[in-house]
Structures are given as C-alpha cells and as structure tokens.
A and B are shown apart, each in its own frame.
Chain A
Amino acid sequence: MNIAILRFGGSNCDLDVQKALNNLGVGAELVWYKETLKSFDGAIIPGGFSYGDYLRAGAIAARTKIMQSVAQMAADGKPVLGICNGAQILCESHLVPGTFTLNQYPKFICRWVKLRTVGKSPFTVLSNAIVDLPIAHKEGRYVVDPQLLKELYENDQVVFKYVDDNGLPTLAANPNGSLDNIAGISNLEKNVLAMMPHPERASEKLLGSADGNAIFESMVRHIKAL
C-alpha cells in the first residue's frame, strides 16, 4: 500500500502525516506538486500555509495541475483526505462543498477540541463517537449555502462537529463560528474528507491523544476493502 502525501510551497505538516502513517506500518510517499501523481492507493493533503494563504487559504494550491490528478483519484473512488490547509484546498478545488473562511474572531487558534463523529464515513469506521484532536487555524469557519446545508445533512456528508464535554454541539464548543459547528465535511460519494482538526498531531499518547490514528486506520481499512 502506498499513500501519496502532497507537498506544496508552504505545506508544513507533511512529515508529521508521513510519520503517523509509518507508525501504523503504512507506506507513504511525499509528492512535490510539480511531480506526477503516479498510481497511489489514496492521497492526503497535509496542513500548512500553501502559497502564504495568498488570495484565500488554499486558493492557489487548488489550481495546480496535481490537483487535477487528485480529482481523478477521487473520481476513481480512491480515498482523499485533506487536513487543515488540505481541507481548504479541497474546498477551493470543489471536491467537497462549501468553504472554510476567516474565523468569527479573526485570529489564529491553536488548541484541543472535542469532536463528535456525525455522519458515516470510510474515514471514521474505527473512530470513537467522540474524539480529542487539536486545531490550528485562522480560516476554519465553515460556510455553505443554507439550501446546500440541508442536502449535506440529507446525504450524510457532515462528518465531524465541534462539541462540548457532553457531546453537544453548543455555541461555547464552537471555536471559530463554523456553521452548525461543522469541523469536517465529505463529498457525496464519501471518499473525500476535508477536516480542519489535525489527526496527525494526535497520533501518539505522548502528544496528548492517539485518537487521530483511528482516522488513518479507517482510511487504510477502506483501501484494503476496495
């Protein structure tokens, strides 16, 4: 098995994702955006600040040629995971609906959050109902057209929500003003997931939580079942 980890100018969580996958015994190859995306079993777009977040977070990276190959992988049914800046890139590429924009209180937030796994997703089959993961972003407020939001619920595309200690998506548990506390969203086919929290930063107990591993393990299990 070989999973591609994309690198753009400004990606900075690439090695962390690779280490998290390697710890699980999964092969992961770093792919610079100018290279061709040869046959991989899945792709992860890691966090960072691609192209300095110029124009909008993820906007420039989304228009690179390699993202057309990622779109093809997604169309072929292979799993594609976007974390933080990777999630913003997936939105800007229209591979998932909506967009992640400036936080309600417009500053960078870096802290632990609780998430509830809401929808069914191949990325969460091994995951607990409530997981602890860190966030680190300034543009993480999810925005989508109200009509489309209704469809997202109908099609089970809302994957993660920010919740409080009781597992409820309260206003106080919403770190960035995201619509309906949404932290992760998938495409209609469920094989593309865009999430703002960082599973790779919660991939060892030493880091405070190993809840993130279940997301990578679920992805691997999904690939094996394909």
Chain B
Amino acid sequence: MFNYYDPTVTAMLYRAEITIKLKNGMLDPEATTIKNALKHLGYECQSVKQAATYELEFTADSRENATDLVNGMCQRLLANPIIHDYDVRITK
C-alpha cells in the first residue's frame, strides 16, 4: 500500500463517483415502467429518471490526471455518447 511519508512516491489513491444517465429528451422505457408502478402504489410523479452510478478507486499522479483517466473510461466504455451524459466527481 501507499507510504504517504515517502517523498519519492507521487501516485495517490483517488476515488471517483460516476453517474451515467440518458440525455435529456431520450426515451427511457424502464423509468416509464417504474413511474407507472409507483402510480399503482398511489405515488403520482410528474417524472422519473434513472441513472447508473459507479464508484471507482484507482491511482493517479495528480487530480488532473485522475480526471482525465475517468473521462477516458466514460468515453471509451461506461457511457455511450449517442444516448448518455455523464457526471464525474473525484474525491481522494
């Protein structure tokens, strides 16, 4: 594991919270079904949206580098840019 007292070690452990959701205006059949099910239970909602969240831990040289890595993960695998928007929150 990391030795935070060793000045030669530059890599830090970062945590990222990623939220992937459908772009505004995209049809979300699952959310519509959930909205209807809530209605059956007596909960009337004007809208329901759902999203996927990912919590990751990884090492990076800097916060900037960590952000780049997570953006790469989203663009190359986790999100489909045709239908999704994503939010990234980096914590240490």
Interfacial residues, chain A to chain B (CB-CB below 8 A): 55-56, 59, 63, 92, 98-99, 101-106, 141, 143-145, 177
Q: Please indicate which of the listed interface residues B26, B76, B83 has the most CB atoms of chain A within 10 Å of its own CB.
A: B83
CA distance A102 to B84 in the complex (A): 13
Q: In the complex, are the beta carbons of A59 and B29 less than 8 A apart? A: no
What would be 21 A-B contacts, judged by CB atoms less than 8 Å apart? A55-B77, A55-B78, A56-B80, A59-B77, A59-B80, A63-B77, A99-B83, A101-B83, A102-B29, A102-B30, A104-B27, A104-B29, A106-B29, A106-B30, A106-B33, A143-B26, A143-B82, A144-B82, A145-B82, A177-B27, A177-B29
Residues of chain B from 59 to 92 with CB closer than 8 A to chain A in the complex = 76-78, 80, 82-83
Q: A98-B82, A177-B27 are in contact. List 6 more A-B contacts (CB 8 A).
A: A59-B80, A92-B80, A101-B80, A141-B27, A143-B82, A177-B29
Whether B82 lies near A99 (C-beta < 8 A) is: yes
- The interface of chain B, by Cβ under 8 A from chain A, is 26-27, 29-30, 33, 76-78, 80, 82-83
Interface of B is mostly: helix
**Closest chain A residue to B26, Cβ basis:** A143
Smallest beta-carbon distance A17→chain B, Å = 26
B26 to nearest A CB, angstroms?
8
Indicate if the CB atoms of B80 and A103 lie closer than 8 Å: no
> What B residues does A103 contact at CB under 8 A?
29
- Closest chain B residue, CB of each to CB of A58: B80
